[in-house]
Amino acid sequence: MEIIITPDPASASKEAARFLAALLRKKPHAVLGLATGGTPLPLYRELIRMHRQEGLDFSRCTTFNLDEYVGLGAEHPASYRRFMQEHLFASLNIPPDHIRIPDGLAADIPAHCAAYEQAIVEAGGIDAQILGIGGDGHIGFNEPTSSLGSRTRLKTLTVRTREDNARFFASPGEVPHHVITMGIGTILDARSLVLLAFGAAKAEAVAAMVEGPITAMVPASALQMHPVVKVLLDEPAASKLKRRGYYRDVFAHKPEWQRW
Ligand code: F6R
């Protein structure tokens, strides 16, 4: 894992945007894996700025989102489809038929999940997957005890995640219990992973992910098995890492040819 500690979320998000822009310029038909929630918002703002001001072109890329709430349709204000439309897709030139998000209203969920996995394979696999992390160490909505080899499927949210996400709903009781999420195995199949985490509330999960044992109790710890992972943090999110000094040293002395 490459741990990059930045002064603030804006700097971390610019690093992540530079990485994605370099990928898109090299491979215009790249397949991007996208996340929702509060964390990627500054990244999405930066991508929109690069599209408008620097001509970063998304017309040939394809996107797959990590997850969606079961029972929420595209028009529901808290659906991830709606979130993505508002915060990213409405401002970029991704063809609508290149955008894939699990369907929260799918009648046959296992068949829908299998088709989602198949669509990722047919698109050529995900080149770069953006990730946030839950306070309990989840990635996507793979809650603690998720199989580290899991594929896209139905999951039940923990009480903590439902409480954390209640801010996006009119009332806490409206947060669905179920989601469709890419599995940890699906995420690990991506060619590169970019995980962003900001704020002290993420510090414990970040330390467990980076420096703890690989365990289904901390789903993000599975990222230790992936060869190309960038973890972009602000100072508070990095505050519980024991080897902070080493990570800073690695980044400060990174050879030019390894930078993007
Ligand atoms: C979102 C997702 C989740 C979030 C995580 C952090 O698509 O898969 O894993 O990344 O719950 O959420 P925020 O960014 O709101 O703290």
State the pLDDT at residue 257: 86
Per-residue pLDDT tens listing for the chain (260 residues): 999 999 999 999 999 999 999 999 999 999 999 999 999 999 999 999 999 999 999 999 999 999 999 999 999 999 999 999 999 999 999 999 999 999 999 999 999 999 999 999 999 999 999 999 999 999 999 999 999 999 999 999 999 999 999 999 999 999 999 999 999 999 999 999 999 999 999 999 999 999 999 999 999 999 999 999 999 999 999 999 999 999 999 999 999 888 76
- Is pTM beyond 0.85? Reply is yes
How do 31-34 and 128-131 pair as beta strands?
parallel
State the pLDDT at residue 221: 98
- Rounded to 10 degrees, the C-alpha dihedral 153/159/165/168 comes to 100
State the pLDDT at residue 240: 98
- Is any ligand 1 atom within 6 A of the Cβ of residue 138? yes
Give the pLDDT confidence of 171-223 residue by residue, as tens digits: 999 999 999 999 999 999 999 999 999 999 999 999 999 999 999 999 999 99
| Ligand 1 atom closest to the CA of 198, numbered from 1 | 16
Is residue 143 among the annotated active site residues?
Answer: yes
- Rounded to 10 degrees, the C-alpha dihedral 170/172/178/179 comes to 50
Rounded Cα distance, 87 and 40, in Å: 10
State the pLDDT at residue 55: 97
Question: DSSP of 178-199, one letter per residue?
Answer: EEEE--HHHHHTSSEEEEEE-S
Could you tell me the distance, in angstroms and rounded to a whole number, from the CA of residue 140 to the centre of ligand 1? 7
- Is any ligand 1 atom within 6 A of the Cβ of residue 199? no
- Is any ligand 1 atom within 6 A of the Cβ of residue 66? yes
Is residue 249 among the annotated active site residues?
Answer: no
State the pLDDT at residue 259: 79
Could you tell me the distance, in angstroms and rounded to a whole number, from the CA of residue 165 to the centre of ligand 1? 9
Closest CA to 232 of 17, 10, 44, 16: 16
Q: Count of alpha carbons within 13 Å of 198, Cβ hemisphere only?
A: 15
State the pLDDT at residue 258: 83
